[in-house]
């Protein structure tokens, strides 16, 4: 790599947990980054965007530190900011984990300042080490890290209709479901559990 390229930032596409924490770790090493996120919020992604306290982490709090050098980092943060959930063996709301990730990113942005540049936009193409956004902006880097997470769910069953919800993670995806509506959920994993909890929280009695 020539000297000019080496002075460029690392471009990180995707500002969920992985992108935000990669930027934080690289800042600690003195490496500048550009963190590109298409959504309104950085550090949350699908998993930690939920506002519901019933949507819990599926890993005990004591194992959710985002800092390998500080294993108790998340439980210490909970003790300060949400003491009711500071039990190391407990399963804290995912919403709190999102706030924790955002706090750790903000900490990295402050010390030293100026190493992490946030860009709001959707990356649509990569040419060499240059990332091109949907609005045509070109962001050159020394390397590109893809931290784009999982794509939104695609319908696993053919067919369509106004009452079919293909992506239950979309904001307000369940809002049109009335308390006595019959709901058929296809799939029986963690997303199903979250959907049932979200429906109950909005007063659904089905
Ligand atoms: C419902 C649910 C619950 C979960 N619960 C847990 C848990 O309890 N514990 C646990 O450890 N893990 C959990 N996970 C897994 C969790 O998602 C991962 O641990 C982690 O959040 C993944 O981070 P990520 O940065 O790879 O992806 P994401 O957090 O999904 O972030 C990807 C980001 O990239 C952005 N992006 C995508 N494409 C582009 C583009 N072209 N341009 C710009 N931005 C883009 C997206 O907007 C998004 O913000 C859960 C996942 C889900 C879906």
Task: Kindly report which listed range (8-22, 138-152, 158-172) carries the lowest average pLDDT score.
Answer: 158-172
39 Cα nearest atom in ligand 1: 47
Contact 49, 96 (CB under 8 A): no
- Residue 127: beta bridge partners? 130
Q: Where are the alpha helices (DSSP H) in 48-189?
A: 73-81, 94-110
Omega cis (within 30) before 73: no
pLDDT of the residue at 167: 87
Contact 139, 130 (CB under 8 A): yes
pLDDT of the residue at 203: 95
Which pLDDT band holds residue 158 (cuts at 50, 70, 90)? confident
How far, in Å, from the CA of 180 to the mean position of ligand 1? 32
Which pLDDT band holds residue 36 (cuts at 50, 70, 90)? very high
Taking residues 126-149, what's their average pLDDT?
97
| Average pLDDT along the chain | 93
Which pLDDT band holds residue 47 (cuts at 50, 70, 90)? very high
DSSP state of 158: S
Ligand 1 atom 1, closest CA: 47
Contact 15, 39 (CB under 8 A): yes
Backbone φ, ψ for residue 83 (5° rounding)? -55, -25
* b/e code 20-34 from CB counts within 10 Å (16+ = b): bbbbbebbeeebbbb
Contact 27, 72 (CB under 8 A): no
How far, in Å, from the CA of 149 to the mean position of ligand 1? 5
pLDDT of the residue at 146: 98
Contact 119, 15 (CB under 8 A): no
Ligand 1 atom 14, closest CA: 47
Task: Kindly report which listed range (27-31, 49-53, 163-167) carries the lowest average pLDDT score.
Answer: 163-167
The architecture of the domain spanning 3-146 is 3-Layer(bba) Sandwich (3.50)
CA 102 to centroid of chain Cα atoms? 10
Q: Where are the domains of the chain?
A: 3-146, 153-206
18 Cα nearest atom in ligand 1: 25
């Amino acid at each position: 790599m020539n000297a000019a390229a080496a002075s460029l930032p690392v471009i990180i596409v995707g500002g969920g947990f992985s992108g935000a924490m990669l930027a934080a770790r690289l800042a600690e090493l003195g490496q500048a980054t550009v963190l590109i996120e298409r959504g309104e919020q950085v550090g949350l992604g699908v998993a930690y965007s939920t506002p519901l306290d019933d949507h819990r982490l599926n890993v005990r709090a004591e194992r959710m530190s985002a800092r390998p050098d500080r294993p108790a980092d998340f439980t210490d943060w909970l003790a300060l900011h949400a003491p009711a959930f500071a039990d190391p063996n407990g399963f804290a709301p995912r919403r709190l984990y999102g706030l924790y990730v955002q706090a750790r990113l903000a900490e990295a942005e402050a010390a030293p300042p100026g190493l992490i540049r946030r860009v709001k936009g959707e990356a649509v193409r990569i040419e060499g080490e240059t990332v091109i956004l949907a609005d045509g902006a070109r962001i050159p880097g020394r390397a590109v890290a893809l931290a784009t997470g999982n794509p939104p769910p695609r319908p696993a069953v053919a067919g369509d209709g106004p009452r079919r919800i293909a992506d239950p993670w979309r904001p307000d995806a369940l809002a049109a479901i009335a308390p006595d509506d019959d709901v058929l959920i296809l799939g029986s994993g963690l997303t199903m559990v979250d959907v049932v909890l979200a429906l109950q929280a909005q007063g659904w009695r089905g």
